[in-house]
Amino acid sequence: MERKEHIISILVHNKPDVLARVAGTLGGKGYNIDSLCVNTTTQKDISKIVMTTAGSQSTITRIENQLQRLVDVISVDDLTNVESVHREMLLVHLNISPDNADMVKNAIDTNRWKVIVTSDTYTIVEITGDQTQIDFALARLETLDVADITRTGLVALKLDD
């Protein structure tokens, strides 16, 4: 069966250990979490977990069923085959030297990266986009002097239907 990346959006009661329960359910059954994002929703006692995991459709269904068994899980939604928007974010620390100052400036301008902090010797930029855009940015960054990088997990939101 075809293995495919799935985006799973999980609403949970914001109880102690809830992330450990969700992560442990997948880990304990032998499934891998590729990326993960968690925060509260507009209701502070309810959190949303968005994660990506790869597997065949039957594996994903099994994961959904296992997650539904958890007492603190309210709902599990597979956003893969529904219309939804996706974003990830990179924070990148770029070293600046006389040799590459123009290149860095050029990259920032042409890619419309958002500069958060800048000085003579370094700059920190914020890059957001969907997976393709992030992958493109990462390729572009390979030509620059990256000192440090942090990438968030993917967040996704279902379009109204």
Partner 1 sequence: MKLKGTQILLEMLKQENVDTIFGYPGGSVLDIYDQLYQSDIKHILVRHEQGAVHAADGYARASGKVGVCLVTSGPGATNTVTGIATANMDSIPLVVFTGQVPTGLIGNDAFQECDITGITRPCTKHNFLVRNIDELASTIKEAFNIARSGRPGPVLVDLPKNVMAAQTDFDPANVKFRNYDVPHKAAPKKIANIFDMLQTAQRPLIMTGGGVLLGRASEELTALAKKYRIPVTGTLMGLGSFPGSDPLWLGMLGMHGTYYANMAVSHCDLLIAVGVRFDDRVTGTIETFAPNAKIIHIDIDPSSINKNVTVDLPIVGYTKATLQDLLHFLDDHHYAQDDDTRDVWLREIADWREKVPLTYCSEGDVIKPQYVIETLHRMTGGDALITTEVGQNQMWTAQFFKFDKPNTFISSGGLGTMGFGLPAAIGVKCAHPEKQVVDIAGDGSIQMNIQELATAAQYNIAVKVVLLNNGFLGMVRQWQELFYEKRYSHTDMTYAPDFVKLAEAFGVVGLRATRRDEVESVLKQGLASDKPVLMDFRVSREECVYPMVRPGESITQMTLGSREMIN
8 A C-beta contact, residue 25 and residue 64: no
Which amino acid is it at 8?
I
Please report, as ranges, the residues that interact with partner 1 according to CB under 8 A. Answer: 16-17, 20-21, 24-25, 28, 58, 61-62, 65-66, 68-72
Q: Smaller CB distance to partner 1: residue 10 or 107?
A: 10
> In terms of CB distance, is 73 or 92 closer to partner 1?
73
Report in angstroms how near the CB of residue 56 gets to partner 1 at its nearest.
Answer: 12
Contact assessment for residue 155 and residue 50, using Cβ atoms and an 8 Å cutoff: yes
- Closest approach, Cβ 82 to partner 1, in A, equals 20
CB of residue 158 vs partner 1: minimum separation in angstroms?
A: 22
Count CA within 13 A, CB hemisphere, residue 66. 18
H or E, element range at 108: helix 101-111
Q: Which residues pair with 39 in a beta bridge?
A: 48
CB closer to partner 1, 26 vs 137: 26
Residue 25 or 133 with smaller CB distance to partner 1: 25
Nearer to partner 1, 43 or 121 (CB): 43
Query: How many CB atoms lie under 10 A from the CB of residue 32?
Result: 10
CB of residue 62 to partner 1, shortest distance in Å: 6
Nearest of 47, 54, 44 to residue 22 by alpha carbon:
47
Query: In whole angstroms, how close is the CB of 73 to partner 1 at the nearest point?
Result: 11
Instruction: Provide the token pair at 67.
Output: 């997650």
